[in-house]
Amino acid sequence: YGNFIDALRLYVRGGAGGMGYPRLGGEGGRGGDVWFVAQERTTLKTIKDKYPRKRFVAGTGANSSVRSLKGEKGEDLEVHVPLGISVLCDDGKQIGELNAPGERFLAARGGLGGSLITNFIPCKGQKRIVRLDLKLIADVGLVGFPNAGKSSLLSKISHAKPEIADYAFTTIQPKLGKIMYSDYKQISVADLPGLIEGAHVNKGMGHKFLKHVERTKQLLLVVDISGFQLSIKTQFRTAFETILLLTKELQLYKEELLTKPAILAVNKMDLPCAKDNLNELMKQLQNPQDFLHLLQKEMIPANTLEFKDIIPISTYTGEGIEELKECIRKSIDKEAEQENEEYRKKKLLLLQTSE
């Protein structure tokens, strides 16, 4: 994964409370809290570089005194984290999420100051070890086997400049790009590390890839029309088999991924025999049940992905790129309309019940 960090383990501790003043019944100040605050243009690597010890301790509450019977609260500590963070306990249980700029999560609460209830002895702050787990947030996630042309496609449709080469694993860390439209609408696209067979059991980059797919609104499957073979030791897969294998990997990791809207981009249409292969693929996709006998039983997914659109493209000649951008736009806009409609219905229902 190179310099890209998508998980970080931190020690957080709330500040201790201040001492009480028994003679005059004075209360010590509460200890400060540790907060995680979502902020754009922040990465987990930034946190690691800035705080190499990965320890975050809030300020101690002020002691009660003759001059100030009520001690002041200790200083809070704010840790800026990237968007799309899941906060997990050390046992792996999720305790919070931060998805939008400015969202806050209380990581460790400060201790109470000394008072009559505590016999004027201050309490220690909450302490625990938490894990920050990053899942990219993008409108569209590019899904495909290595060498399908995902990086080339990202460079064609957006301003991103990913590394591109003719060997299988070019992309070793997620890359984000933005499609810019003439009316200034922007759609974010994530090029994710190449999936391989067995990814659901964490082969290759397995779970590191699949967890990022969870946080994309829609899927864009990119398939090589001439088929795919990872190495001479692995079996050759046709475009149809590739689609079913990708679907199977997504299903085995998390079945809900198959409910996401999906578009299929059939790449490398500039190659010889591409048109014949495309005609064959379209027949197979129209009636997939008739062709399942060509595959081994364990390769067949329980449910097949339903594609909103199937677009033949060539990242080499630029064929179909503009059409694909328009399809992505229509699909995202349609989903946004549905979300707005559901939101309006909920609001209306709340108004009716309150009346």
- Boundaries of every domain in the chain: 7-134, 138-339
Q: Nearest 5°: phi and psi at 4?
A: -75, 125
Whole-Å CA distances, 306 to 139, 207, 287, 295:
18, 24, 12, 19
Q: Is the pTM of this model over 0.75?
A: no
Dist CA 80 CA 73 (whole Å)? 21
Structural class in CATH, domain 7-134: mainly beta
Tell me the pLDDT tens digit for each residue of 186-196. Answer: 898 888 765 65
Dist CA 185 CA 159 (whole Å)? 14
Q: Which CATH superfamily is domain 138-339 in?
A: P-loop containing nucleotide triphosphate hydrolases (3.40.50.300)
Q: Provide the residue type at 316 as one letter.
A: Y
Per-residue pLDDT at 256? 84
Over residues 46-67, mean pLDDT:
94
Over residues 297-313, mean pLDDT:
86
Per-residue pLDDT at 62? 96
Q: What is the average pLDDT value for the chain, to the nearest integer?
A: 85
Q: Which of 199-213, 234-248, 258-272 has the lowest mean pLDDT?
A: 199-213
Strands (E), 109-168: 127-134, 138-143
Over residues 293-317, mean pLDDT:
86
Dist CA 112 CA 16 (whole Å)? 7
